[in-house]
Amino acid sequence: MKHYKSFFTNEQECLKAILEIHNEGKAIEVDPMYFKGNFYKEIAEPKYKFDLNPVVLECVQANAINLPLNDKSVKSIILDPPFLFGVHGKTKNYYSSKTHTMFNTFNDLEITYKGILKEAYRILEKKGILIFKCQDYTDSKTTMTHCFVYNWAIELGFYADDLAILNIPQSKVYNGNLNQRHFRKTHTYFWVFKK
């Protein structure tokens, strides 16, 4: 199957294209932020499934900044960390730092993101790939999180090999009572970094 585009509206199609182009069509080996495994509806399950707060039986408790895997031992890893920070008001009904679905501050996000990038670099073989899902965030101001992720990955020595964009228009986190001053961030990014 040929893939000519970089913009997707279906997550499974996006993941399949990434794996076919960048991972010889093979399964992702490690998912340290597995949650319910929503990535694996149409693609193969990973060999190693971890989460800080596992919600399914087959997932092992671990922190993505300190994984029980040897240096240079895997070919592929996917990271899908929480992207919200400093959330207040209505959004609190959906997200909480206690359940590890958001960060208290941008600084907390930075510490975790840098930690998980460094850990991914440690466990990946040379030329191994890291797929990093991230999303920008507008509260009273806009944070272009995907640019920070790019810079932090490059600083560690990763090569930014590709970038796919996934648009999910039905995003539910917004305050409909306010005048809209920014685009609602309905799209997410899938960076493909190579060690």
Ligand X SMILES: C[S@@+](CC[C@H](N)C(=O)[O-])C[C@H]1O[C@@H](n2cnc3c(N)ncnc32)[C@H](O)[C@@H]1O
Applying CB under 6 A, does 119 fall inside the site for ligand X?
Answer: no
Closest CA to 153 of 191, 105, 125, 107: 191
* CA trace torsion 59, 60, 66, 68 (10° rounding): -120
Contact present, 57 and 31 (Cβ < 8 Å): no
Applying CB under 6 A, does 80 fall inside the site for ligand X?
Answer: yes
The answer to whether the Cα torsion of 111, 116, 119, 120 is positive or negative is negative
User: Which range touches ligand X (CB under 6 A), out of 30-38, 90-98, 142-150, 187-195?
Assistant: 30-38
The residue with tokens 């490690």 is: 30
Q: Which residue has the closest beta carbon to ligand X? A: 38
The single residue among 3, 100, 114, 118 that binds ligand X, judged by CB under 6 A, is 100
Residue with Cβ nearer ligand X (61 or 179): 61
- As a whole number of angstroms, the distance between CA 94 and CA 54 comes to 18
Residue with Cβ nearer ligand X (51 or 136): 51
Residue with Cβ nearer ligand X (42 or 159): 42
DSSP annotation of 35 reads T
| Smallest distance from ligand X to CB 177, Å | 26
The single residue among 32, 69, 143, 145 that binds ligand X, judged by CB under 6 A, is 32
Site for ligand X in 54-73 (CB under 6 A): 63-65
Question: Angle CA(51)–CA(56)–CA(58) in degrees, nearest 5?
Answer: 85
Applying CB under 6 A, does 86 fall inside the site for ligand X?
Answer: no
How many residues bind to ligand X according to rule CB under 6 A? Answer: 18
Contact present, 32 and 53 (Cβ < 8 Å): no
Applying CB under 6 A, does 105 fall inside the site for ligand X?
Answer: no
Q: Which residues bind ligand X (CB under 6 A)?
A: 32-33, 35-39, 51-53, 63-65, 80-82, 100, 112
